[in-house]
Amino acid sequence: MGNDAMNELPSPTVLGAAMYAVDTAARGFGVKLEVLERGRAEATMLVRPDMLNGLGVCHGAYLFALADTTFAYACNSYNRVSFAQAAQIHFVQAGRAGETLRASAVERSLRGRAGVYDVEIRNPAGGLVALFRGESVATDRELLAAVVPK
């Protein structure tokens, strides 16, 4: 995308706020959007006691939720509604109750409608908790128009 087209886009801050306002699921997961730029996002999530599985560590689906949400913000940052087509996660070490985990999403490729984004999740000590790679598909719909609550 050229710089001119970029300059006409709503700022990532505006886009992030609009998305987050109507993203009931993300708020339920306790995911907080911390940084949003074109193609890049960071978000945090506190591991709550209700997020633990039967073995007492953070359920993998909450790690996925944090990574997937961060990915979603990154790939929607161009104001085009984009969907996750597929995603893969590698679980490296357990997330523990009380830890605030931080996910960082970066764009690895964006060609036409197809994007690939890498997300890593780290614990407060900087240790790697999970690696995630997501594939996005962009539509022609404008994001701001799509997410404004009716």
Does 25 bind a second copy (CB under 8 A)? Our answer is yes
Does 87 bind a second copy (CB under 8 A)? Our answer is yes
Dihedral, 2, 5, 11, 14 alpha carbons, nearest 10: -130
Q: Contact with a second copy (CB under 8 A): which of 49, 125, 126, 140? A: 49
Does 111 bind a second copy (CB under 8 A)? Our answer is yes
Burial 11-37 (b: 16+ CB within 10 A, else e): ebeebbebbbeebeebeebbbbbebbe
Residue 148, phi then psi, degrees to nearest 5 = -60, 125
Residue 56, phi then psi, degrees to nearest 5 = 85, 10
The distance of closest approach from Cβ of residue 64 to a second copy in the complex, given in angstroms and rounded to an integer, is 5
Does 46 bind a second copy (CB under 8 A)? Our answer is no
Does 65 bind a second copy (CB under 8 A)? Our answer is yes
Helix boundaries (H) for 39-125: 60-75
Query: Which of these ranges, 3-11, 35-43, 67-75, 98-106, lies near a second copy under the rule CB under 8 A?
Result: 67-75
Query: Which of these ranges, 5-13, 26-34, 35-43, 98-106, lies near a second copy under the rule CB under 8 A?
Result: 26-34
